[in-house]
C-alpha cells in the first residue's frame, strides 16, 4: 500500500491537515487553525462527558478518508424571497468561517468540520414564506463528507424547513447554524434515515422575540448523534425541541440539547419519546444553563422511553445549571415497558395484544407527531 493510502486511511491520526482532501486554498489558514484545535481536543469518546454515550473515536476507526458522493437538493417556491450561495458567502463574510468554534471552543466535531468542510450552503430568508423549504441531504457509498449550512433569518420572518438526511455507508459530520433576527419564527421538521455514522451539530442564535421549533424523527440505520446548542441572546426568545426516536434493530441514537439562557424572559422546552426494540440503544441529554442576573426564565425537560425488548437500553441525563432563583424549571424521565393494565383493558374490549400495543405506541408518538404533522408519513408502517 502506498504511503498516501496509509495517510488517508488514518487521517484522524495525522498531525497535519491533509490539504489534498478538497481545494479551498483561500481558507487554508482557517482550516489549519481548526485542525490544530481538533488535534488538541481529540476525537470524542466516552471519556468526554458530553459524549459519554457515543464513542465516536471507536465508531469511525478505519473509515476511508475519501469523499463519498453527497448531494444537497434545496426546493423552494419563493426564490425571490431567499438567497442561496456556497463558499462565496465566506469570501464576503470571512469572519463567519470560524464563528461556531468561537461560540463553542471545546467541541472536536465542530473543528473537524471547519477543517474539511466540502459542501457549503448559505441560505438567507428575507421575507416570510407561505410554503416550506425542502432540504434533502443524500449520501452514497463509503468515505466521509462534511456538509455545512448557514441560515440567516431576517427580522419579522416566519419560515418552515423540512430536512431529510439519507444514505451513506461512511461518516457524515454535518454542521448547521441558524441566525434568527428579531421577531422571527423558524419551524423545523427533521427526518434522519441515515445509514452512515451520522454526527450533526446544530447551533442557533436567537434574538429578541424570536422563536425556534424543531421536531425530529430519527429512524437511525447505524449510529446517529444529533446535538443542538441554542443561545438565547435576546429577551423573550423561546425554543421547543421535540424528538421521536425509533432506531432500527441493533442501532444507536443519541439526542442532546443544551439551552443557554443569556437573555431574560426566555423559555426552552426539550423532550424525547423513544420506542426501542432488540439491540437498540438510545440516549437523551439536556442541559439548562441560566446565568446570573437573568430573570424570569422558564425551562422544561421531559424524556419517555418504551423498551420493547430486554436487550434494548435507554440513557437519560437531564441537567440544570442555574445561578439565580428567578426561574421556573422542571424535568422528568420515565423508562419502562408498556403498561400491562392498559393492555389488559384493551384486550377486554376485544382487541388483540398486538393491536393494543400498537394503539398505545401510537399514542406516545402522537404527543410529538400528531396526524397533521408533515412527519406522519415517514413513520414506519406499524406505527402509523
pLDDT for 62: 80
Give yes or no for residue 22 having a pLDDT over 90: no
pLDDT for 6: 38
Identify whether the C-beta of residue 111 lies closer than 8 Å to the C-beta of residue 78. Answer: no
The residue out of 321, 337, 353 marking a domain boundary is: 337
- 312 & 351 share domain: no
CB under 8 A, 24+ apart: contacts of 318-325: 318/284, 318/285, 318/286, 319/285, 319/286, 319/287, 319/288, 320/287, 320/288, 321/287, 321/288, 321/289, 321/290, 322/288, 322/290, 323/290, 323/291, 323/292, 324/290, 324/292, 324/293, 324/294, 324/295
Give yes or no for residue 332 having a pLDDT over 70: yes
Give yes or no for residue 354 having a pLDDT over 90: no
- 360 & 321 share domain: no
pLDDT for 322: 85
pLDDT for 186: 98
- 193 & 244 share domain: yes
- 146 & 98 share domain: yes
In this prediction, residue 12 has a pLDDT band, given cuts at 50, 70 and 90, of: low
pLDDT for 3: 37
- 245 & 133 share domain: yes
Greatest mean pLDDT range, 10-14, 21-25, 319-323: 319-323
- 141 & 30 share domain: yes
Question: How is residue 62 written as a grid cell?
Answer: 478505519
Give percent above pLDDT 90 in the chain: 74
Number of domains in the chain: 2
pLDDT for 9: 41
- 10 & 137 share domain: yes
pLDDT for 155: 98
In this prediction, residue 13 has a pLDDT band, given cuts at 50, 70 and 90, of: low
Domain that holds residue 313: 3-337
pLDDT for 348: 86
Give yes or no for residue 1 having a pLDDT over 70: no
Q: Among the listed ranges 19-33, 75-89, 213-227, 260-274, which one has the minimum average pLDDT value? A: 19-33
- Burial class from Cβ neighbours inside 10 Å (0-12, 13-18, 19+) for residue 104 reads middle
Give yes or no for residue 345 having a pLDDT over 90: no
Higher pLDDT pick, 205 / 339: 205
**Rounded to whole angstroms, how far apart are CA atoms 242 and 272?**
6
160 CB contacts (<8 Å, ≥6 apart)? 129, 131, 132, 133, 186, 187, 188, 189
CA distances from 248 to 55, 100, 143, 196, 215 (A): 19, 32, 22, 13, 19
**DSSP line for 333-348:** EEEE---HHHHHHHHH
- 72 & 177 share domain: yes
pLDDT for 357: 86
Give yes or no for residue 63 having a pLDDT over 60: yes
Average pLDDT on 2-25 reads 60
11 CB contacts (<8 Å, ≥6 apart)? 18, 21, 65
**Rounded to whole angstroms, how far apart are CA atoms 194 and 167?**
5
Give yes or no for residue 8 having a pLDDT over 60: no
- 241 & 199 share domain: yes
Give yes or no for residue 70 having a pLDDT over 50: yes
Residue ranges in 252-352 assigned as alpha helix (H): 340-348
Which helix H or strand E contains 203, and what residues bound it?
A: strand 197-206
Provide the mean pLDDT of the chain: 91
The structure's pTM equals 0.94
pLDDT for 19: 78
- 321 & 349 share domain: no
pLDDT for 80: 82
- 284 & 354 share domain: no
- 327 & 228 share domain: yes
Amino acid at each position: 500500500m502506498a504511503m498516501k493510502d496509509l495517510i488517508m486511511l488514518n487521517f484522524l491520526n495525522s498531525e497535519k491537515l491533509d490539504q489534498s482532501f478538497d481545494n479551498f486554498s483561500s481558507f487554508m489558514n482557517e482550516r489549519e487553525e481548526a485542525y490544530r484545535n481538533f488535534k488538541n481536543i481529540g476525537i470524542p469518546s466516552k471519556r468526554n462527558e458530553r459524549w459519554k454515550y457515543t464513542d465516536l473515536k471507536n465508531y469511525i476507526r478505519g473509515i476511508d478518508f475519501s469523499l463519498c458522493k453527497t448531494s444537497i437538493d434545496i426546493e423552494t417556491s419563493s426564490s425571490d424571497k431567499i438567497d442561496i450561495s456556497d463558499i462565496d458567502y465566506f469570501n464576503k463574510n470571512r469572519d463567519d468561517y470560524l464563528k461556531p468554534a468561537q461560540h463553542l471552543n471545546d467541541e472536536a466535531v465542530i473543528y473537524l468540520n471547519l477543517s474539511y468542510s466540502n459542501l457549503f450552503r448559505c441560505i438567507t430568508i428575507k421575507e416570510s414564506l407561505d410554503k416550506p423549504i425542502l432540504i434533502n441531504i443524500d449520501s452514497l457509498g463509503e468515505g466521509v463528507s462534511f456538509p455545512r449550512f448557514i441560515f440567516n433569518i431576517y427580522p419579522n420572518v416566519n419560515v418552515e424547513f423540512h430536512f431529510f438526511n439519507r444514505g451513506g455507508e461512511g461518516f457524515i459530520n454535518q454542521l448547521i447554524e441558524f441566525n434568527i433576527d428579531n421577531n422571527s419564527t423558524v419551524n423545523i421538521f427533521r427526518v434522519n434515515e441515515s445509514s452512515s455514522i451520522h454526527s450533526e451539530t446544530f447551533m442557533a442564535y436567537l434574538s429578541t422575540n424570536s422563536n425556534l421549533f424543531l421536531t425530529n424523527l430519527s429512524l437511525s440505520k447505524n449510529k446517529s448523534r444529533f446535538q443542538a446548542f441554542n443561545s438565547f441572546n435576546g429577551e423573550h426568545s423561546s425554543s421547543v425541541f421535540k424528538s421521536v426516536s425509533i432506531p432500527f434493530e441493533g442501532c444507536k441514537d443519541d439526542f442532546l440539547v443544551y439551552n443557554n439562557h443569556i437573555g431574560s424572559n426566555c423559555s426552552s422546552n426539550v423532550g424525547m419519546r423513544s420506542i426501542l426494540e432488540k439491540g437498540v440503544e438510545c440516549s437523551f441529554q439536556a442541559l439548562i444553563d441560566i446565568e446570573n442576573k437573568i430573570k424570569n426564565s422558564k425551562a422544561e425537560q421531559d424524556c419517555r422511553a418504551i423498551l420493547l425488548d430486554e436487550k434494548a437500553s435507554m440513557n437519560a441525563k437531564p441537567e440544570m445549571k442555574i445561578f439565580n432563583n428567578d426561574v421556573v424549571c422542571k424535568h422528568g424521565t420515565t423508562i419502562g415497558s408498556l403498561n400491562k393494565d392498559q393492555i389488559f383493558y384493551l384486550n377486554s374490549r376485544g382487541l388483540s395484544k398486538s393491536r393494543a400495543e400498537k394503539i398505545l405506541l401510537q399514542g406516545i408518538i402522537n404527543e410529538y407527531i400528531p396526524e397533521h404533522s408533515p412527519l406522519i408519513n415517514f413513520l414506519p408502517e406499524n406505527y402509523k
